[in-house]
Amino acid sequence: MSLSYRQPGVVLTDRHFTVPLDHADPGGETIELYAREAVASDKAGQDLPWLVYLQGGPGFGANRFVGRQTWLDRALKEYRVLLLDQRGTGRSTPATRQTLPLRGGPAAQADYLTHFRADSIVRDCEAVRPQVTGGAPWTVLGQSFGGFCTVSYLSLAPEGIDTALITGGLPSLHAHADDVYRAAYPRIERKVTAHYARYPQDVERARRIADHLLTHDVVLPNGYRFTVEAFQSLGLMLGTGDGSHRLHHLLEDAFVRTPAGPELSDAFQEQAQALLSYAGHPLYALVHEAIYGQDARPTAWAAERVRAEFPQFDAAKALTGDGPVLFTGETVHPWMFDADPALRPLRETAGLLAARTDWRPLYDPARLAANEVPVTAAVYHDDMYVDTAHSLETAAAIRGLRPWVTNEYEHDGLRAGAPRVLDRLLALVRDEA
């Protein structure tokens, strides 16, 4: 039974669906999907076209808006919107340290998680679309990993799409995870350099924190082992529009004086814990590198291996001189499964996924080259999370795609720039700009 309720300017309806775990075995095990339908209050009785939103990640549920926030306000002017919690996230059947043991041991858990990539998410969309639209194709809005899913959608089931809108999410069609991270570390270094140019006082602050973590065993209140590598991973913030400012504010209050000498303040540790913990989105850590697996080559902890090719990210070496400690970005490492109590029980499962050699292709270059679906994509210049060169190569490979390359926004442009970003994408795809 669907439940409807109201927030300012919007009517929301909870939607629940049952889909196969493995769409190749439609009569087998099933899982549950949750989605939130949103429609403008003054259009609730109207027959409107549908837009399905695919969240970034992987491993995050759809945005929990209050009323008509950010891009949703623009979308509700002409669409009914379905905010889908992709499988394993949000209120859909969860995949966490608490639930995965129901599958059995690590090998069974890893086998289960192979069904949580973009191809399965696309099949989920096609399974629920007839129940939502009556069979009509819908507009797909894909942010970041949601854009990866949209490119898979165009490859696997373009008949389900009326229009495709992608923001910060054009993946390479061919790159292995090694290639992705080999391109990523120089981008990350540029973002860190720009941060220190904006806030030069943070160079010494970061060095002091790194030195403290190298010489002390620090455990955060939730049991997270706060190592120097964990501290460096806070650079993930630098890929968003306000991330540099938020990182600066975090660093400026790191230490307090105590009878035992300088210590990391409780306030700093509490904020770091909230930023570092994967308790709310463990699937991100588990399958992040698997989203780049498309052939018999294992991902094999690519971010960790490739980092060794960039010694400037070694904090201990940086501290032997007077250079800055470099932060890292959107990378997942095996040490995270030791540090984070939400991930520790899943370390062996993650290792089995990293060693897997039977990944299926996620994209169909031939079908994309013959694409007939109207599609446009925002490509953020020097995006920290998605390589611009890879994105532009893919844009050229999808027939009819109109790219919008901009340096006005970072990776979170859809949120930070709304309604301008969605307005621009709709104008481009409709040949109005």
Q: Which residues are catalytic?
A: 144, 358, 411
Token couple for 284? 């991100």
Phi and psi at 68, nearest 5°, equal: -110, 60
CB 367 within 8 A of CB 173: no
Amino acid symbol at 343: L
- Residue ranges of alpha helices (H) inside 242-310 are 243-252, 266-276, 282-287, 302-307
DSSP 88: B
Q: Please report where in the chains the tokens 């006082």 appear, as a residue.
A: 201
Burial class from Cβ neighbours inside 10 Å (0-12, 13-18, 19+) for residue 120 reads buried
* CB within 8 Å of 305: residues ≥ 6 apart: 178
* DSSP tally for the chain: helices H, then strands E: 18, 11
Torsion of CA 195, 416, 187, 211, to 10 degrees: 40
Phi and psi at 163, nearest 5°, equal: -150, 140
Burial class from Cβ neighbours inside 10 Å (0-12, 13-18, 19+) for residue 126 reads middle
Give, in order, the Cα–Cα distances in Å from 195 to each of 207, 372, 407: 14, 42, 16
* CB within 8 Å of 197: residues ≥ 6 apart: none
| Of residues 57, 110, 155, 145, the one with CA closest to residue 397 | 155
Cis peptide upstream of residue 419 (ω within 30 degrees of 0)? yes
Residues in the chain: 433
